[in-house]
């Protein structure tokens, strides 16, 4: 964690040293070399700040997630919580044919193994053109 905290300084100094070496080997005058080193130091310091913020954000999020899981384990709740698990169980029990809430369409307006309903479970009604086309293909 100590290196993450010092990340902006490490990146800035490393970039500044590399820039200084490249400028010196290229034969630049000292004023231009120092100016380029200062620019590199500032830019890579800013990049280091962003990287540090991302890393600490991820660490904080993981820490919070672990604390939440530990708290739920203490209370005896699953990952969804007691109320959410009860709702999921109730939804699964009320689903037709134990299909988990989905009722497959059998082509005649009902559901497979169902009760011959003329509508879908979710309130969807086919367009009138579907009945017309169905009549033309049958007769």
User: pLDDT digits over 50-76, tens only?
Assistant: 999 999 999 999 999 999 988 888 887
pLDDT over 70 (residue 39)? yes
Domain presence at residue 90: no
The verdict on 24 and 68 lying in the same domain is yes
Of the residues 29, 44, 75, the one at which a domain ends: 75
Q: Where are the beta strands (DSSP E) in the chain?
A: none
The verdict on 19 and 50 lying in the same domain is yes
Return the DSSP state at 111: B
Domain presence at residue 33: yes
Domain count, the chain: 2
Range of the structural domain that residue 106 is part of = 98-138
Domain presence at residue 129: yes
pLDDT over 80 (residue 119)? no
Question: With helix as H, strand as E and coil as C, how does 89-101 read?
Answer: HHHHHHCHHHCCC
Domain presence at residue 24: yes
- What's the CA gap between 118 and 92, in Å, rounded? 23
Task: Name which of 25-39, 66-80, 94-108 the model is least confident about.
Answer: 94-108
- In the three-class reduction of DSSP (H, G, I as helix; E, B as strand; rest coil), residue 105 is classed as strand
Domain presence at residue 92: no
State the average pLDDT for the chain: 77
- The model's pTM is 0.50
Decide if 127 contacts 118 (C-beta within 8 A): no
For residue range 5-16, what is the model confidence (pLDDT) as tens digits?
899 999 999 999
The pLDDT of residue 75 is 80
Contacts of 95 (CB under 8 A, 6+ apart): 101, 102, 103
Domain presence at residue 82: no
Contacts of 38 (CB under 8 A, 6+ apart): 16
The verdict on 71 and 102 lying in the same domain is no
The verdict on 128 and 71 lying in the same domain is no
């Amino acid at each position: 964690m100590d290196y993450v905290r010092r990340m902006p300084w490490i990146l800035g100094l490393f970039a500044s040293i590399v820039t200084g070496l490249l400028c010196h080997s290229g034969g630049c005058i000292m004023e231009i070399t120092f100016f380029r080193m200062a620019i590199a130091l500032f830019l890579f310091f800013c990049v280091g700040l962003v990287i540090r913020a991302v890393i600490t954000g991820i660490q904080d999020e993981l820490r919070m997630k672990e604390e939440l899981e530990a708290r739920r384990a203490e209370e005896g709740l699953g990952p969804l919580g007691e109320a959410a698990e009860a709702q999921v169980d109730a939804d699964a029990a009320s689903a037709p044919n134990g299909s988990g809430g989905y009722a497959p369409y059998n082509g005649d307006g009902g559901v497979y193994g169902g009760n011959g309903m003329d509508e879908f479970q979710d309130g969807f009604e086919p367009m009138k053109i579907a009945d017309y086309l169905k009549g033309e293909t049958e007769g």
